Structure 1
């Protein structure tokens, strides 16, 4: 879990440095619980209603959506 938390935190920092935000979409309940335990539920926005076709990633280098 520590590696994945570091990765998500790094992604958030890159997004903020680029003037963007990061929303976690479709996060499983057990992962939300883990985020809550370490206090990251207060750091990350979540969107439980998002479905895969609604998810867009804006890359810092292109500023264009990358559909996932």
Structure 2
């Protein structure tokens, strides 16, 4: 059974979801700039490492509350 988690969704062109399929985590990031990027992780620590690099606080262009809610959503996967 595949369980889908929405990390954020601003509109139908800007969203990030994670599908849990057994031990595999399939992350899909859709943006109006870059299209769809898909990453497959074999563990939660591997996914969290990616998320911490992708959403590094010093490079994040949003509020600290927005950053924290994204990271919290990753931790809840």
Question: Fold conserved (TM > 0.5)?
Answer: no
- Structure having the higher helix fraction is 1
Instruction: Return the structure number with greater relative CO, CA threshold 8 A, min gap 6.
Output: 1
**TM-score, scaled to structure 1:** 0.29
